[in-house]
Every structure is written in structure tokens, then in C-alpha cells.
Amino acid sequence: MTEFTSKHFTLEKISKGIYAAIAKDGSGSVGNAGFIDLGGTTIIFDTFNTQQAAEDLRNLAENITNQPVSWVINSHWHGDHIRGNQVFKKCNILSSQTTLQKMKENHPQRIAKQKEDITGLNNYIESLIEQRKSSTDINLDNKINFLREIAISLPTLELVLPQYAFNTEFTIYGTKRTAILMALGGGHSYCDSILYIPEDEIIFMADLLFVKTHPSFFPESNLIHWESILNKVKSFEIQKAIPGHGPIGTKEDITKLINYIKELKIISNENNNLDEVPIPDKYKEWASPELFIQNLKILKNPN
């Protein structure tokens, strides 16, 4: 295999022909992605937050599988999973009906607004660079680098929508393995799709799973459905689970997220002053600790 590195992600081989692209902090990826050689067919799962990160992913996938990408899956409508779609314009892009609808509803205005204020974004980046000179907060470096990638992407960014959509399940057959796509309803977002490869017992879960990372709760999130989806997925035969954020996990990490959701519901109900609630010890080492209080507040006031 030709040596390949990207500043946007780390490539991890899950099994022969199955790779996870794990996002690097302060890059143009933000969420995880991956690709699978089904045998005669290469599919991409999610396309990152920028076209420059997606370009690396496509080049890597085609280099390793020695064939062009045939299918691209958008797991849900959030930008860090779909904004690289334009790199795959000539491929078959597929999502759930709900994901397609939400992309149509939300992204044209969001992207247009961001394009109108590239100068403002660049000025903000410069202010952060100045702030960093007198700060010991190394997290500022990641924020600056992330915003620089956004600034690079915006002038040529275009929204490319899926040409195909499905309601509940869609299967892609290859000569080596099968990719089963399932839209399991709203959990993290209005509709979240997973990709299951039964022959290898590997599942790409997007933002239905966060590993060693605090998940993102949003007003659109449905925690009851989210728990139900995770319990359903736990019944699958799974050796490896690729999350939307964080390192590669196992079925045990699905259980940990179920427990996290349950525990935060209790904490939110039992406390009025959420700003002073300490992070439980078992979650203190998880990435994105700032989301803990934010998640409690979403639970307290969903709207």
C-alpha cells in the first residue's frame, strides 16, 4: 500500500478492506468517516466538514481499493458529515428521506450566510491568534486551525445533495461483503442512519455513538428514541463500532453511552443549578467536557 497521511484524520484499518478515518482535532474533518471495499464496489460513509478533508478521504479510498468510489452515504444532516459531498459529485450519494429533507431545509441558508461573512471569520481568526499570544490555553490552537479550515473551504464550498434516498433500509451488495443501511429514526438528530457489515460484524454508527467523548445533545435530539436505538443495535453481532466522534469502540461503548444518557437524565432532574454540577468521575477523562453542562441544560429545557 502506498504511504498516505492526512492532516485531517488518522486512517485505521478495521479489517481487510474496511477502514475508519478518525478525525484529528483542529482539522477540516470534525466527525469521523470511513470507507469499505465490498468487492467490486467501494463505499464512503460520511464526508467530513470540508471538501479538503473529503478530498484526502477519496484519494485514500481509491488508492487503497484500486477502484473509484461508487456510493457515498450521509448518515445524518449535520454539516460535519455532509459538507464534503461536492468531492463525490459523480458518485451515487445516498441518505434517508429525512436527512435529505433537512439538508435541503437548512444548509442553503447556512452556507450562504457563512459565505457572506468570510471577512468577519478571518477577522475573528486574527483576534484569536492575538489572544493566543498571551494565553496558555492550547485549545485555542485547535480552534484557530479548525476555523482556518472553514475559511479555506468557504469560497468554493457548494451544497451537493444526495440523489437517492431511502425510508428504513437499503442494502448494497458486493462480491466480498454486504452493506446494510438502516435509518432507525430520530436519536441524536432528526434521523440517524447506521451502516452494518454482517460478514465482518462491524458497524459504522455516526453520531448515535460517541466513544470516550461526551455526546452532543441538541433540541432536536430524542433521548428516549436514542436509548431505544442503542438497545436495538446492541442485539447485533458486533466486533468493532466506529463512532461519529472518538476512537473506535466495541459493544461495551454502546452500553456506556446508554448509561450516560440515563445518568444525565437523573442529574438534570435532581439539580436546579446545573452550572455547578461536577462531571462524574467515570466521565472526567472523556473528550469535550464542555458538553456535559450543555447536555444537562438541554435535558432541563429541551426547547
Question: Residue type at 54?
Answer: A
CA-based angle 30:19:232, to the nearest 5?
80
HSE value, Cβ hemisphere, 13 Å, CA-based, for 279: 17
Q: For helices 118-133 and 97-116, what crossing angle results, to 10°?
A: 80
Residue 207 resides in a domain: no
Residue 21 resides in a domain: yes
Residue 270 resides in a domain: no
- Rounded to an integer, what distance in angstroms lies between the CA atom of residue 38 and that of residue 63? 15
Residue 200 resides in a domain: no
Q: Write out the DSSP string of the chain.
A: ------SSEEEEEEETTEEEEEEPTTSS--S-EEEEE-SS-EEEE---SSHHHHHHHHHHHHHHHSS-EEEEE--SS-GGGTTTGGGGTTSEEEEEHHHHHHHHHHHHHHHHHHHHTHHHHHHHHHHHHHHHHT---THHHHHHHHHHHHHHHGGG------SEEESSEEEEE-SS-EEEEEE--SSSSSS-EEEEETTTTEEEEEEEEESSB-----TT--HHHHHHHHHHHTTS--SEEEEEESS-B-HHHHHHHHHHHHHHHHHHHH-S-GGGPPPPGGGTTSB-THHHHHHHHHHH---
Q: Specify the number of domains making up the chain.
A: 1
CATH of the domain at 46: 3.60.15.10
Residue 291 resides in a domain: no
pTM, to two decimals: 0.96
- Rounded to an integer, what distance in angstroms lies between the CA atom of residue 242 and that of residue 67? 23
Q: Which domain holds residue 56?
A: 1-183
Residue 54 resides in a domain: yes
- Rounded to an integer, what distance in angstroms lies between the CA atom of residue 284 and that of residue 133? 28
Residue 168 resides in a domain: yes
Residue 118 resides in a domain: yes
pLDDT, tens digit only, all 303 positions of the chain: 445 789 999 999 999 999 999 999 999 999 999 999 999 999 999 999 999 999 999 999 999 999 999 999 999 999 999 999 999 999 999 999 999 999 999 999 999 999 999 999 999 999 999 999 999 888 899 999 999 999 999 999 999 999 999 999 999 999 999 999 999 999 999 999 999 999 999 999 999 999 999 999 999 999 999 999 999 999 999 999 999 999 999 999 999 999 999 999 999 999 889 999 999 999 999 999 999 999 999 998 876
Q: What are 119's three cell numbers?
A: 471577512
Q: For helices 223-233 and 251-270, what crossing angle results, to 10°?
A: 160
- Which residues are paired to 193 by β-bridges? 183
